[in-house]
Amino acid sequence: MPRERQIILDTETTGLYPDRGDRILEFAGIEMNKRQLTDRTLHLYIHPDRDIPEEAAAVHGLTLDVLAEKNAPKFAAVGQEIADFLRGAELIIHNARFDVGFLDMEFARMGLPSIEELGCEVTDTLAMAREKYPGQKASLDALCNRLDIDRSKRVYHGALIDCELLAEVYLAMTREQFDLVGGGDTDAETQTQTVQASAPPVRTGRLKVIQADADELAAHAAILGELNQASGGRCLWQPEAREAAE
């Protein structure tokens, strides 16, 4: 069973290699408690104190000018806040080795504890997806598509929007296992409401018919007229066209 406090986490960086001088540009964490999202979120833009390669900016849309407009602090000014936010939580991360590697690097530069030393447990949703859907794509976009999660707002890879999507992906991928152990994230009253809500409706044998009013009939007739004109008089919903077809 996971810890009660979970943090959905994501970062954006200047590149792929924390041991070669790349730095964190953006951090986002969304808190959940007993699988329920809370109102606690930490979202920070961070000045990397170095250049941002064009290929990286093309992925997340962050440049030094953008960060300057946001008055982004350097990591040294926010590292303690991030560490305190994460301390003792289960971290839900897609491709966890990447983000943990960058956070550990940034923490080490400040003399702060590592993710492990902060008492965090790490759950990698990329590994979960590869086990759950073997042989299939396991990117965040692919999982959103597979699980019918709307990702239309994801124009760039942004830490906060990726956290929001990952929260939905994680809950969808793990819902069955929690249901099997009694719906670990719901209390008795909520479970009762769920059972009542899912009960089949009682059928009385009477069907209530609501007649269209005059305005609705007029609007319907206007649409049929347009269809009939566009089809050269062959709209089958018009009486004269239907008679000709018969």
Taking the CB of residue 162, how many other CB atoms lie within 10 A of it? 24
pLDDT value of residue 67:
96
Residue type, 18: P
Contact between residue 227 and residue 241 where contact means Cβ atoms under 8 Å apart: no
51-100 pLDDT tens trace: 999 999 998 999 999 999 999 999 999 999 999 999 999 999 999 999 99
Q: Is 157 a catalytic residue?
A: yes
Segment 193-202, tens digit of pLDDT = 433 444 444 4
Distance CA 246, CA 213 (A): 30
Q: Of the residues 43, 94, 157, 220, which is catalytic?
A: 157
The answer to the question of whether 104 is labelled as a binding residue is no
Instruction: State yes or no: 12 annotated in a binding site.
Output: yes
Instruction: Answer for the pair 92, 7: CB distance below 8 angstroms, yes or no.
Output: yes
99 known ligand binder: no
77: alpha, beta or left? (left if phi > 0; alpha if psi -120 to 50) = alpha
4 is in an annotated binding site: no
Mean per-residue pLDDT, 200-212: 54
* Averaged pLDDT of the chain: 83
Q: What is the pTM of this model?
A: 0.70
pLDDT tens-place string over residues 3-42: 899 999 999 999 999 999 999 999 999 999 999 999 999 9
> What Å distances lie between residue 58 and 43, 63, 80, CA to CA?
21, 9, 29
Whole-number pLDDT of residue 175: 86
Average pLDDT value for residue range 229-242: 63
Label residue 150 by pLDDT band (50, 70, 90).
Answer: confident
CA separation for the pair 98, 16 (Å, rounded): 8
- Evaluate if residue 169 carries a pLDDT over 80: yes
- The annotation status of 215 as a binding-site residue, yes or no, is no
Are the C-beta atoms of residues 172 and 149 closer than 8 Å to each other? yes
